[in-house]
A and B are shown apart, each in its own frame.
Chain A
């Protein structure tokens, strides 16, 4: 396991929060250690969000949200490195405004460049196992497949592919985007993901702090279930108590 995750396997996104106080309560309740921030949407020097993250002692994971080409994303990543003084970058290269799904070709190009420039690259990718492997092959520190489109709350639309990705790469897999509620986060961890990234499902819920708590428990539960090893699925029942040793009449 890389040093990307210590105690917490839950990464929070900051978009969609109604207020700084609501966001702070959610961050505290989630017990996250890593929070992603869009360079293009915040003033790195401004008041508000960043001083708050600093006070809470969480690490900032800058992202390149809003970029549509490799060149744009590379430039934004360099600006983020200067502004936030970190080599970590969550690389987003969006292909289409309606779905906000990644453009795999531009993404791979940007990832290769940024790895060469010394970044720790965490690419937001689609749930394509081949693309995920290619990203790992060019030196990304993790891969972050979408469960379903950003903000859709549709959960994990192709669990089999997430499992395939887990088996095709040696780097951490972070389920990013699409989580709607706690069971989605638990499923991601049960499929073998190393962490999940959640924004809207928490920040846009009626009670962000309560949902953050639910997500924290779900991630822990899913991880434990994955490690414990689920029983095989069977067609017919199998009594939990066997007949052995029953009295004979």
Chain B
């Protein structure tokens, strides 16, 4: 067994392991499989501003730092992971949607774009879209490509094994990065928050930006990949099952097609559900649990965005014993 064992082979665990390895550490990743994992369904929106309507300032700082790290993180992986800086259009369909979104936009101090300006940027948008803002800072990456690149980098250091108790793990340091599974391993309050996500396939370039919209009271995002894949998400349900429901698919498609009518021509290639690892305050649990165990879990809707900063901070903590001051607000013992 290695000096350091990372429990969890999702994007957070793999990113930490990769950072540790590149700093010369001896690391093994125990991967319990992808059942219910968040990364395989995640759209990969890197949105440090778009999801922060009520977020606390410490979490926003963490997200911004990680967003700044992403270009280098993606480059260091050495293969294409779909990092795309075309930016995000945040959109409101009706007057009610606008009233809701305007609160966030005002806080972000982004200039409001008229419908004609929006359609110049994004020609496939419905004529019914009423207003929006453009954020160049909100980008995207393809989580499946990131995980496959990380797996490639780590190779045989990843061992398929489901851990049921931290005491069974023979290592000097154990990093628990098991997403929703962290609750059973540590007793920490990480709960599954179900999300249903669709994947469509159409003409590349049909949609040019990440679209994050309020459509008749429904929140939907549309994330176009360079190869013509379009990710549509996501429901947010306090449920422990992974059932893809007719109602969930219907709601997502209705909102997406109202927003971009031409998506109706696309092939519907995937309907999936995953569990976001949620915590009571929506912020991750990052730091030391005891002398031997370090936790990096509960990233909720921001696991892809927060992977680089999590890897940096946790690797530093594990290798030097020094906790970055940034970790203070995310202590696993805060509940």
Contacts of B162 in A (CB 8 A): none
Contacts of A42 in B (CB 8 A): 238-239
Interface residues of A in 80-107 (CB under 8 A from B): none
B281 touches A19 (CB 8 A): yes
Contacts of A41 in B (CB 8 A): 237-238
B238 touches A48 (CB 8 A): yes
User: Residues on B close to A: CB < 8 A?
Assistant: 53-54, 103, 183, 189, 191-192, 237-241, 278, 280-282
Closest CB in chain A relative to B161 CB, distance in Å: 25
B237 touches A22 (CB 8 A): no
Tell me the nearest residue of chain B to A52, going by C-beta. B280
Closest CB in chain B relative to A149 CB, distance in Å: 11
A18 touches B238 (CB 8 A): no
Tell me the nearest residue of chain B to A48, going by C-beta. B191
Contacts of A243 in B (CB 8 A): none
Given contacts A46-B238, A48-B191, 15 further A-B contacts (CB under 8 A): A19-B54, A19-B281, A19-B282, A21-B280, A22-B54, A22-B281, A41-B237, A41-B238, A42-B239, A43-B239, A43-B241, A47-B183, A47-B240, A48-B238, A48-B278
A61 to B282, CA, bound (A): 25
Contacts of B191 in A (CB 8 A): 46-48
B280 touches A46 (CB 8 A): no
A249 to B191, CA, bound (A): 81
Within 8 Å by CB of A206, from B54, B192, B241, lies B54
A233 to B237, CA, bound (A): 50
Question: Any chain B CB within 8 A of the CB of A199?
Answer: no
Q: 1/0 contact trace for A25-57 toward B, CB 8 Å? A: 000000000000000011101111100100000
Contacts of B241 in A (CB 8 A): 43
User: Residues on A close to B: CB < 8 A?
Assistant: 18-22, 24, 41-43, 45-49, 52, 206
CB contact under 8 A between A18 and B282, given known A47-B183, A48-B191: yes
A43 to B238, CA, bound (A): 6
Tell me the nearest residue of chain A to B217, going by C-beta. A151
Tell me the nearest residue of chain B to A204, going by C-beta. B100
CB contact under 8 A between A19 and B280, given known A47-B183, A47-B191: yes
Contacts of A22 in B (CB 8 A): 54, 281
B240 touches A46 (CB 8 A): yes
Closest CB in chain A relative to B2 CB, distance in Å: 32
A22 to B59, CA, bound (A): 15
CB contact under 8 A between A20 and B240, given known A46-B191, A47-B191, A206-B54: no
A43 to B242, CA, bound (A): 12
A45 to B240, CA, bound (A): 9
A18 to B55, CA, bound (A): 9
A20 to B298, CA, bound (A): 13
A21 touches B239 (CB 8 A): no
Interface centre among B53, B192, B280 (most CB of A within 10 A): B280
Closest CB in chain A relative to B216 CB, distance in Å: 8
Contacts of B238 in A (CB 8 A): 41-43, 46, 48-49
CB contact under 8 A between A20 and B281, given known A46-B191, A47-B183: yes
Interface centre among B54, B191, B237 (most CB of A within 10 A): B54
Closest CB in chain A relative to B114 CB, distance in Å: 26
CB contact under 8 A between A20 and B183, given known A43-B239, A46-B239, A47-B191: no
Closest CB in chain B relative to A62 CB, distance in Å: 14
Contacts of A48 in B (CB 8 A): 191, 238, 278
A20 to B189, CA, bound (A): 11
A15 to B183, CA, bound (A): 24
6 pairs, A vs B, C-beta closer than 8 Å: A19-B54, A19-B281, A21-B281, A42-B239, A46-B191, A47-B240
CB contact under 8 A between A43 and B54, given known A20-B281, A24-B280, A48-B191: no
Contacts of B53 in A (CB 8 A): 18
Tell me the nearest residue of chain A to B334, going by C-beta. A21
Contacts of A52 in B (CB 8 A): 280
A167 to B282, CA, bound (A): 46
Closest CB in chain B relative to A79 CB, distance in Å: 14
A18 touches B280 (CB 8 A): no
Tell me the nearest residue of chain B to A18, going by C-beta. B54
A9 to B155, CA, bound (A): 61
A46 to B282, CA, bound (A): 17
B54 touches A20 (CB 8 A): no
Within 8 Å by CB of B240, from A18, A43, A206, lies A43
B239 touches A20 (CB 8 A): no
Contacts of B192 in A (CB 8 A): 46-47
Closest CB in chain A relative to B182 CB, distance in Å: 12
Contacts of B103 in A (CB 8 A): 206
List of 4 A-B pairs having minimum Cβ-Cβ separation, nearest first: A21-B281, A47-B191, A20-B280, A19-B282
Tell me the nearest residue of chain B to A17, going by C-beta. B54
Contacts of B239 in A (CB 8 A): 42-43, 46
Contacts of A43 in B (CB 8 A): 238-241
A19 to B278, CA, bound (A): 9
